[in-house]
Structure 1
Amino acid sequence: MTTDTMTVRSLDAAETRERIAELAEVLRDCVEGGASVSFMLPMARATALAFWEKVLEAVARGERTLLVAEDDRGIVGTVQLITDMPENQPHRADVAKLLVHRRARGAGIGRRLMEAVEDAARAQGRRVLVLDTASSTAERLYERLGWQRVGVVPDYAYLPDGALCATAFYYKHV
């Protein structure tokens, strides 16, 4: 998907390795901006790189699809489709780590990434998608895109600053 100078596409394992520094920067920016995406402050660059190494390995094994949004300055957003499911759930996938760099927010990148991850899921025969979020901004996006809220678990995770936060769970049939 391309719009003006914005492109959304998947990366294979080799290109993920080549772009790992950019991916780490997006993750660190989101965590530093307060996003509850499994990491705490302060977030070392090595921690971000180690996370993306694990993603790269899963992409190489065919267990994840990594999508990125790029502008003329590089990667500004990313989302993952996790397809490594139990044998009784071959029709399902998890959507994880929708990340948009703070410099690029408000331009519809999150929406474009979510549309692309849904397209990738359909192309892989995945009909039920599940995700969770601790962000009210993300909740509004998901609901506008037709995701159904299942419920909220209070005190599910910590924000990067150490405060507890609730997490909302969503699903969508695609």
Structure 2
Amino acid sequence: MDATFPRARKNQLGYKTAEVEDFLQRARRAYDGRPSSGDEALDAERIRLTAFSMQKGGYSTAHVDAALERLEDAFAFRERQIASRLHGDEAWLTEARTTAQVIANRLARPERARFDRVSKLAVGYDVHEVDAFADKLTRYFRDGWPIAIEDVRSVVFSAQRGGYREAQVDLVLDAVVDVMLAVR
């Protein structure tokens, strides 16, 4: 039987193959407009938030992640087409502009205070690294400087005691991806 994706080596962790295959079947049914009665609703945001368990010799994480990004793009494109038909392009773009403004306001906060901080005993994202990336995003929104959606999806920050609250930073990054997909 051919595998959908290359596998990690037998002694290395990869995504649990059964979970990936099940998700791909649900995604195919959702995209085709034929979900099963027990299927959870699926959209671009849900795809972005999808996570799989790990297993030795599972599917290559890099290959599955790349496929999920393409799947997210396809769902976002279709969602935009549907919204455009229902409400017009201007309504879709107005929503994207509103979200972009909320993001820009967050990123305009002073350095070292753009996001909530965790306690000095807890670990969060490195403040300096997040602020540096936030500056790149500010230039993207304010000046139109190029930044690839893949750069936003794949950014990784070091850990720091007393750093920025991870969940808050991740939500803003997800919103940036939403805006970038909306204006493609």
State whether TM-score is above 0.5: no
Determine which structure has the larger helix proportion and give its number.
Answer: 2
Query: Which of 1 and 2 has greater Rg?
Result: 2
What is the TM-score when the length of structure 1 is the normalising length? 0.29
Determine which structure has the larger strand proportion and give its number.
Answer: 1
What is the TM-score when the length of structure 2 is the normalising length? 0.28
